[in-house]
Amino acid sequence: MSINNLKALSENKFYFSTGSYFNDPFDCTDDNPVNYITADDVFNYLKNKYPDITESQHAKTTESTLCNFQKKASEGFKDCEDSQFLIESIFDYITNSFIYSLSEISHNSLMWSHYADSHKGFCIRFKKDIFLNQEFIRTKKPVDYSKKLPSLGKVLLSSVEQNQKPTDVDIYSLADEAICHKSSDWAYEEEFRITHRKLSERSVGLQPETYPEDSVDMIIFGLKTSQSDIDLVKTMLKGRDIKYKRVEIGKGGGYSLYATADC
């Protein structure tokens, strides 16, 4: 349990970071893989725009429509005066976004190993209605996990149809599709991600913020957290309306963990 973590806990402080700090090399970096327009995007687009035609008619027109939109997208976005403006803008936003990662779960062994000092740290449980209602938060949503790449086609198709210039496209919506999408390899994290209204100016950095004291309702200690560290935290936070629990090995066998009653 580090001094920095204890200091942040006592001061109600937490830190947003850019993708350069993440342990996933594809996450919010220049290497973040995306699809710009897929056949599924076009098929769903046509179904919404022309709900009265049959499934077979949708299927027949999807391929030709996809080619047409790709051609328009290429002409409108890549061969204009602002060459590569759209793509560069999307990735600038992705790599410069300040992101804070939470999880929907507190009993996953890998999470405790990776993010809580190999089970010797602690987990903070927040009250959603208070913690997520802070002015500096821009977006808040669970991460979508899939082996498929995130697609930006929905917004791009609408932009091309409206003959929008690259400068008029909603870059935020496009980038958020990639920011809140990760490979299914990471699904065990059950991540809930929030982004800051402020952007980094150099694709690297931390953005400190303070959460309301009453947004914390529980501290859960790891399986290997020492009693002295537990006592230290409880002394530091004395007087606050916070419950304390500790992770233990499940008694029913297997590899399960669970949080005990108040410790």
Q: Is the pLDDT of residue 111 over 50?
A: yes
Q: Are 174 and 37 in contact (CB under 8 A)?
A: no
Percent of the chain scoring above 90 in pLDDT = 51
Per-residue model confidence as pLDDT tens digits over 127-176: 999 999 999 999 999 999 998 887 766 666 655 555 555 455 567 777 88
Cβ atoms of 233 and 260 within 8 Å: the answer is no
Ranges 77-86, 109-118, 164-173, most confident? 109-118
Asked if 192 and 140 touch (Cβ cutoff 8 Å), the reply is yes
C-alpha 104/C-alpha 62 separation (Å) is 38
pLDDT for 13 equals 96
Q: Name the pTM for this structure.
A: 0.78
Torsion of CA 137, 152, 143, 6, to 10 degrees: -40
User: Would you place residue 254 in the very low, low, confident or very high pLDDT band (cuts 50, 70, 90)?
Assistant: confident
- Report helix, strand or coil for 169: coil
Residue 77 has pLDDT above 60, yes or no: no
Do 50 and 62 form a contact (C-beta atoms < 8 A)?
no
Read off φ and ψ for residue 11, nearest 5 degrees.
-100, 5
Rg (CA), the chain: 23
